[in-house]
Amino acid sequence: MAVDHYENFPVASILLPARLRPAVRNLYAFARGADDLADEGDAEPTARRTALESWRSAIQDLGAHRAIRTPLSAPDRALFERLGQTIAEHQLPIQPFLDLLSAFLQDLSVTCYENERALLDYCRRSANPVGRLMLHLFGATAAQDLEQSDAICSGLQRVNFCQDVALDQAKGRCYIPLDCLARHEVTLPALADLCRSRPRQAPAAWRAVAQEQIEQARRLLLAGSPLAWRLPGRFGWELRLVVHGGLRILEKLERGGDNPYADRPILTRRDGFLLCWRAFCRPRPATALPLHHEP
């Protein structure tokens, strides 16, 4: 759920206990809906901001245990009614919802990130809240659980950034830290021109940028992976598949994704069988670096 449009990873799959699937679907509907308000359609930025701020007001009303006072469309009001029931039933914290909305609002005005610290702060609000909400559903809220969930979610977000360089550039955004590009003397406009003229080959400088970003994503996934092997039951299995899904995308990027404008790697049905084998038959991946390693 932490990845843009969530196409790589399962949401409310059959591995999740049936009693929690409606709650997960309601969380997904909120996250997807807010993401679409920020990104999809032809609305002007002012209209997008107004819509997201009305959602923020609605969430604040739910957190204060009062009726939603902000005007909403009928579909949005129904979404928030279902979400309010989920929040009340499972006693979910409100801050993760507000953090998500702050990240989507930031997308309307911030198009690039100067360094790793700034990008991770964005991930902290755009990705990590969903993992924290899922842990609250399962009652796994120890400090170590939350910390490792954050690492997995930020890692998945970074996987998506590696996949979507071309798509993000088309939207006028860049989620590769600018200091990383500068270190390797790469600019995205020049990269796009070169890659389009040589569709199967990217310059060596870009491959160095891509490898650096792939390693950052892998480090986060591996640092958080003990959570997937520590959580019991079907939720643990679900999370193992998610971790291995992210690692598989990184493998594909390394093996054939040098040109971000030519071949965007995705998970296929064949990958599904491989991920199941890795999740159910392999031991936990070795954690190469500690959680707080600085690049």
DSSP secondary structure string for all residues of 30-77: HHHHHHHHHHSSS--HHHHHHHHHHHHHHHHHHHTTS---S---HHHH
Low-confidence ranges of the chain (pLDDT < 50): 1-6, 8, 11-12, 292-295
Sign of the four-CA dihedral 15, 145, 99, 214: negative
* Axis-axis angle for helices 95-107, 21-39 (nearest 10): 20
Q: How many CB atoms lie within 10 A of CB 146?
A: 16
Length of the chain: 295
Distance from C-alpha of 261 to C-alpha of 264, rounded to nearest angstrom = 7
Q: In the block, which residue shows the tokens 């964005």?
A: 122
Q: What is the pLDDT of residue 2?
A: 38
Distance from C-alpha of 288 to C-alpha of 190, rounded to nearest angstrom = 34
The DSSP code for 67 is: -
Assign residue 84 a region (left: φ > 0; alpha: ψ between -120 and 50; beta: otherwise).
Answer: alpha
Q: What is the pLDDT of residue 290?
A: 53
Q: What is the pLDDT of residue 6?
A: 43
Distance from C-alpha of 33 to C-alpha of 40, rounded to nearest angstrom = 10
- Return phi, psi of residue 214, to 5°: -60, -45
Q: What is the pLDDT of residue 267?
A: 86
